[in-house]
Structure formats: structure tokens, C-alpha cells
Amino acid sequence: MLKMLICGILLFMFSILMMLLSLYFLLINKLMIFEWLIYTVNSMKFNFFILIDSKSLMFMFLVSMIFSMIIIYSISYMDLSMNYMNRFFYLMILFLMSMYMLILSPSMLSIILGWDGLGLISFCLVIYYMKMKSFTSGMVTIILNRVGDSGLLLMMCFVACFGSWNLMLYKMNEYMMFFLLMMAFTKSAQIPFSTWLPMAMMAPTPVSSLVHSSTLVTAGIYLLIRYTDLLNYEYKSVILFISSLTMLFAGLTANFELDLKKVVAYSTLSQLGFMMSIMSLGFNDLVFLHLFIHAMFKSLMFMCVGSFMHYMNGIQDMRMYYGMYYIYPVKSFILIFTMLSLCGFPFLVGFYSKDLIIEFFFFSKMNYFSVINLIISTMFTVSYSFRMILVLTNKFLLMNMVFKNEDYIMNLSMLIMMIFSMIYSKMMFNLMNFNLLSINLMLIYKFLVFKMIFLGLVLGYNFYKYTLLDSKYGLFYMSFMFMNFIYKKIYLKLIMFMFNYEVFFEKTMIEMFSGKFMILMLNLYNIKVSNLMMNIFLMMIMYMIFLMIYLIMY
């Protein structure tokens, strides 16, 4: 416990240092690149790059500050034995180091260390409780993420043709752009890879607070912010189409979901689609601002939901949380604050980025399909937030069980996060000079934002009345249009294929034709043969087999 507390305090001090350094780099408007030449083969250089500028330092501040608060929060939440606490602590530290590696690397050779580290350690954290359901969710998570990792490996092969793995030196061809988008879509859970994000809620809530706010799911968006200037216009239209669909389906699913933690997961998925959409239109600084602000209040939202679950002995059904506002007022107030920030309520945290993004959407050239998706998705965001607020503030108390007292360590970490998010979001908004912009829209577009909020409130009240009871469409939407079932079936088929391949092919056919089997047979007949002669004999057999295949094919 003392080790986690000291680590949290040191990381908080480190995050303050990163914040001051990022402000200094923003002031002098410079960047630094450190290069370490590891190995050279002809003209191919194996370099280790570290890029330090204001964006990377700001993101390091964000990750460090959220991680420090989550570690302090976990002292009370993860009330486990010392062995389990050590495993949790070391996995989280490794996860943080992988994210640092990803943030500071402009080179594919060093990005792969952080990228694969995030995927592997997230799998270890999803299966942390060691249940069959956790294992299924972890396998779906890592298999879908390996699709993006294969894109990274193939991209490294293409980049090797240029003589350097540093992506900041040249433009991409079409294949490299495709692989970059595959990486970003799998890590940021865009359609059709969206199903792993709600399934990864099997992890402990502090893990969800870190992974699904500022680290794993934002890795793809951070990578595209770095290299968006290298993408063609055609690919940006593809990003806009897929991300707007992701935002629409995630918002619709969140209105039917009864699991409190999964509602927050689907809201994360919706906001990832929202950020991808605005990035496809070219507003990178605005995406970075919303990524920063969203990470702060979304991690706070996960922490509030996790503390409720901690007090309710792990119950996640939203129907059991009626009237929580009257039992835990401080925690409910912080959760309502985060929900209103998600909606973009005026002068709260999310208002500074979300309202500006919607006005930029109306100001940009877009097709009607994406505009309609944006409007409906924004209404769904307001509706599921209002639905959760209605559940918390309802006077009908459903649960009559022994409630625990307020935990002061959890409340302190959440209050620090809340104050920091309110101060730093406004400060970043002013630093990036968005308050100097004047967007001249027609009056109908200005009032359209208020209409969306009003219609979202009406939808939220109707969803609150009808979807908390048994809905005939509930299974369809809660399974994300049956995508969860499809991926589980694919995962089981893949596991069975790997098992059959190992049993019937590797352990039978290959061993029968291997030197081990032949030496065993020769020893049975007392024929002595040296290892060198055996290897020469096997090479001759393999040569004859390849020659026969060649003659048959040609």
C-alpha cells in the first residue's frame, strides 16, 4: 500500500514537471529529436528516435496525472492480498512505460515496442480476475488488436524500402496508408473492430479508467494526429464515413444498455468516433484539445462508476442504482458533473471543445450522410447521459442492503481530478488560441445545437421509461448488432483450428518426417549414424521434395 502511495505522489510531481515543460516548449515553439544509432546494415540504419515537443509533453502530463490518481484510488478499490496487489501494480507500471514509448517515438522501429506492449499488457489486465468470461473477452481483445499489429509489421516492411523507419521524413504510398488506418481503427475500436472495447470491461475498474480514457484507445488517434498530413483526401473521406457510423451505433447501443460500466464504455466509443470525424476534416489541434479534455472527465467517470460498484459489492445493473444521489451525494455529484461535461453543458469541461467541434462541423464541407449521423449521435449522447442522471436522482430506492461508508481516499483522488480537469481544460483552450476564432454561421445552425440538446433530453426520458424494463430490441443493441456473438464464434473457431493444427499436424505429420523420428527408427535397428550425416540426408530429402513440387507446378 505504501509503495503504491509513494508511486502515485512521485508520478503526480512528474506530471506537474511535464506540464511546465510542455508550456515552455509551446512558448519557444521548438522541438527536440534525440537519435541513437543502434546498428547499420549497408544503407539501412536501425535508429532509436525520441521526439520531444509540446504535444508529446502535454500527453505525457495527461497520462502521468491520470495514472497517479488511479494508483492512489486503487489502494482502496483493489482491496486484495499482497501478491495480487503486486501483480496489479507491476502490470500498470509496464502499461505506463509502453504508453510513454508510444508517445515519444516517431519511428516505426520504436513504436512497435510501445504498441505491442499496450496490446499484451491490456490482455493480461483484462484476464486479471481469471474467470472464463474474462478469458473470452481477453482473447477477443488481443485477436482484434493483433490485426492492427500485423498492419504495423507490414508497414515496417514497406518503410524499410526507403532506408529509414522514421515516418516524419517522407510521404506514404497507398499500401502504407491502408496499414496505418488498419492500426488506428483496431486500436481506437472503430467499426468493424468495435466489439472489443465493451468486452474489455471485464478488467478491474481502475484499469478501465486508465486504458479507456487516455492510453490504449487513444493510441490510434494520437498516431493519426502525428501523421495526418501524410494521408490522402480519399482516405480522409473513408475515415469520416466509418467514424460517423461508429459514433451513431455506439450512442444507440448505450441507450439500451443496462450495464452501468458498459454505458461508459459505449460513450467512450462514441467520443472516439467523434474525434476521428473531426480529424478527417483536418482540424488536428481541435482533436488534440478534445482528446485531452475527454480523457480527463472520462477517467473521472470510470472512477465514480467503480466506486459505486465497490459499495454495491460488484453489482453493475443500472436498475439497482435508483436513488444513489440521496445515499452518496458527493460521488453522485461528481458523476453528474462528468455526464454534463460529456453533453457539452455550458462552461463545464467538455463545453470548450465539443461546442466548438460541432460549429466546425457545420462550417465544413461534408456529405449529408455524415451530417445526419453527427446530429443524431449528439442527440444520443445527451439522451444516455440524461437517462443515467434520472436513474441516480430518482427518489425510488430499490436496494435495501448494508451500504458502506464513503471512502476518503477514493473521494480525494476524484476531487483532485475534477479540480484539475476544470482548471487545465480552460487553460489549454486559451493556450491554443481557440478563443480568438469567430465562426460566422447562419442563425438556424446556431439554434440547431439547442434543438439537439432538447431532443436528446426528450429521447433520454423515453429511453429511461421503456429500456430499463425488458425491451424486445434490447438483445440486438446490447450485443452491438450481434457483433459480440459473431466475434466470440470466430474466436472459438480460431482456437479449435490452432488446437487441431498442433495435435494433428505438428505433433504427428511433422514429427514423423523429422530427424527425431528417423533417428528413433534407426536406433531400433541398431544402426549408428552421426548427426552430420543425418542433417545431410535430411537436406537431400527436402531438396528432392521441393524439386518434385516445382516439376509438378511447372
User: Do 159 and 148 form a contact (C-beta atoms < 8 A)?
Assistant: no
Contacts of 300 (CB under 8 A, 6+ apart): 334, 338, 414, 417, 418, 421
* 233, pLDDT greater than 80: no
Q: Which range is least confidently modeled, 123-132, 373-382, 441-450, 464-473?
A: 464-473
* pLDDT for residue 528: 52
Model pLDDT for residues 104-136, shown as the tens digit of each residue: 887 777 888 888 888 888 888 888 887 777 887
Name the percent of the chain in helix, strand, coil, to the closest 5: 75, 5, 20
**How far lies 233's CA from each of 279, 423, 512, in Å?**
12, 37, 55
Amino acid, res. 86:
N
Amino acid 51: pLDDT = 84
pLDDT category of residue 497 using cuts at 50, 70 and 90: low
pLDDT at 410: 82
Domain ranges in the chain are 232-468, 470-506, 520-553
Between these two residues, 41 and 506, which has the higher pLDDT value? 41
The residues, any chain, with a CB within 8 Å of residue 225's CB and separated by 6 or more, are 55, 279, 284, 287, 288, 291
Query: How confident is the prediction for the chain on average, in pLDDT?
Result: 77
Contact 117, 137 (CB under 8 A): no
* Predicted pLDDT at 425: 80
Q: What is the mean pLDDT of residues 268-294?
A: 85
The helix (H) or strand (E) run that includes residue 13 is: helix 2-28
For the segment 237-243, the average pLDDT, to the nearest whole number, is 83
Distance between the two ends of the chain, CA-based, in angstroms? Answer: 69
Query: What pLDDT does 131 receive?
Result: 79
pLDDT of residue 102: 85
**DSSP character string of 15-55:** HHHHHHHHHHHHHHT--EEEEEEEEEETTEEEEEEEEE-HH
Task: Say what the pLDDT of residue 107 is.
Answer: 79
Q: Would you state the pLDDT for residue 97?
A: 87
Stretch among 125-129, 150-154, 342-346, 506-510 having the lowest mean pLDDT:
506-510
Q: Which of 46-60, 216-230, 533-547 has the lowest mean pLDDT?
A: 533-547
Confidence of residue 258 (pLDDT cuts 50, 70, 90): confident
For residues 223-239, average pLDDT: 77
Region 455-462 average pLDDT = 80
pLDDT at 513: 56
The distance from CA 475 to its chain's CA centroid, rounded to whole angstroms, is: 24
